[in-house]
Amino acid sequence: MIPAHAQASSTATRTPNTIKGLLLLAWACCLVLAPGLAAQKKTKPNKEEITQVLQLPKELPSAVIGETRRLTFHVTPLSSRGLLSAQVRDALKALTRETGGDPVLKIRAFVAGSGDLRRVRDLVSETFTERHLPLPALSLIQSGGLPLEGAQVVLEAIAAGKKEVNPQGLVFLSAPVAASENPLDPVAPLVAQSLDRLKRAIQTAGSESSDVLRVTCFLSSLENLAATRKQVEAEYPRAALNYVQTQRLPTHALAACEAVARLRRDTGKRVSFQPEEGEPLAALVAAQHVVLTGTQVSYGYQEANSRLAFERLQKVLEAAGVSGRDVAFAHYYPLADLLAAQVRKLRSEFFAASAGSLVLFEGLPGMDAGFAVDVVAVKD
């Protein structure tokens, strides 16, 4: 039998150890249960948490105003890397490098392939917004092809430089069309005809080949493009050059090369026109400023639909402080001969004296699009 005082002594000895053991056990349980409790806490919805909403791309302007003497002209290199979105991003990066941070006022995008044209508009808006740059006006056209296998987009751009590079102004030259009935005819001889007329128009305007800033050749086929390149590069080695197949399955062979050049002489007028066969082939722009619009698209195939596109463009011009009477040059992008005839009928009503280029193209944004138009208007 253990004496009472011995039992008391033993209990007193064990009590601190027992308490310590219980504390260690509780701490271990906490370590085991803590991750589960934390997970439960995370799964509980936080009423104060704000749902993140992706912002829609900002709307691109319908028109921008630039100083004529500072305008520069650019064409992005072709790329076959990736799909349309990747190629658009690459083209915009190349454009930023080439312009050196100068504001880009206008982009004309030619898209080949089956990609969604509207994606180009979104990417232009997103890219310029992310870089905190002014948004450009945009013309968006689907072409039949580009001169690099796998290439889906090429961008032509007009930027505002820091220096005056066009002291007298600019000459905008229409694309003289050379065509033959057989769509399989070689394009190079037609290119020679179009370039010959273009050269005469440049000389008549008082400019030289070295003054040409950009040349765009619209072609029915890109076969044997080397022969076309040789002609254009020999004549205009300093210009930004672009070659675009207009349609995948053209109804006839075609070549039409348009250009922009520096104006060399003082015309004494803010805009004057150089006619050929009764139609203005060139617009000589000496005005201090120009209004550059994006494309206005006609939805539907009736004349009334085409008229609405012209009327919408008139409102855009009025918002920029000009009118149809101030239009110096217009680009027309119809998708069929019937629509081209409607354009020819209506353009004199809205832009009586303007020069311009009119060539059939593969497509436009919108399932029922018929034609598109963008313009250059003069502004003091």
pLDDT of residue 311: 97
What span, in angstroms and rounded, lies between the C-alpha atoms of 50 and 53?
9
Position 23 pLDDT exceeds 60: no
Strands 271-276 and 177-180: unpaired
Burial class (CB in 10 A: 0-12, 13-18, 19+), 203: exposed
Straight-line distance from the first to the last Cα atom of the chain, in angstroms, rounded to the nearest whole number? 120
- Give whole-number Cα distances, 230 to 163, 195, 207, 238, in Å: 32, 12, 22, 14
Whose tokens are 């209004």? That residue is 291
**DSSP per-residue codes, 274-328:** EEETTEEEEEEE--SEEEEE--EEEESSSHHHHHHHHHHHHHHHHHTT--GGGEE
| 359 within 8 A of 344, measured Cβ to Cβ | no
Give kind and range of the element (H or E) at residue 123: helix 117-130
Q: Give the residues across from 82 on adjacent strands.
A: none
pLDDT given for residue 9 in this prediction: 43
- The domain locations on the chain are 56-165, 168-285, 287-380
CATH architecture of 287-380: 2-Layer Sandwich (3.30)
Whether the domain at 56-165 and the domain at 168-285 fall into the same CATH topology: yes
- Whether the per-residue pLDDT at 71 is higher than 90: the answer is yes
Strand partners, 142: 111, 363
- What class has domain 56-165? alpha beta
**pLDDT exceeds 50 at position 123:** yes
Among residues 380, 378, 376, the alpha carbon closest in space to that of 139 is found at 376
Give the amino acid at 369.
A
Answer whether residue 275 shows pLDDT above 90. Answer: no
Q: Which helix (H) or strand (E) holds 108?
A: strand 104-111
- Pair of tokens at residue 318: 């009025």
Phi then psi dihedrals of residue 248, to 5 deg:
-70, -40
Instruction: Provide the pLDDT confidence category of residue 54 given band limits of 50, 70 and 90.
Output: low
160, 70 contact by CB (below 8 A): yes
More confident residue, 113 or 63: 63
Residue 241, strand partner residues: 215
For residues 271-287, give the mean pLDDT: 88
Question: Strand pairing partners for 217?
Answer: 243, 257
Least confident piece of the model among 42-56, 126-140, 233-247, 354-368: 42-56
Gyration radius from the chain CA atoms: 33
pLDDT score of 38: 47
Residue 91 has pLDDT above 50, yes or no: yes
| String of DSSP letters for 40-71 | HHHHS--TTPPPP-PPPPPPPPSEEEEEGGGE
Please give the pLDDT value at position 32: 44
CATH dotted code for 168-285: 3.30.1330.40
Cα–Cα distance list, 38 to 45, 50, 105 (Å) = 13, 21, 54
Calculate mean pLDDT across residues 201-213: 96
Q: Among all chains, which residue has been given the structure tokens 């001889």?
A: 189
Q: What percent of the chain has pLDDT over 70?
A: 85
Tokens representing residue 324 in the block: 């149809």
Please give the Cα distance from 379 to 326 (Å, whole number). Answer: 7
| Burial readout 48-65 (b: 16 or more C-beta within 10 A, e: otherwise) | eeeeeeeeebeebbbbbb
Residue 47 has pLDDT above 90, yes or no: no
d(C-alpha 131, C-alpha 108), whole Å? 20
Q: In whole angstroms, what separates CA 24 from the centre of its chain?
A: 69
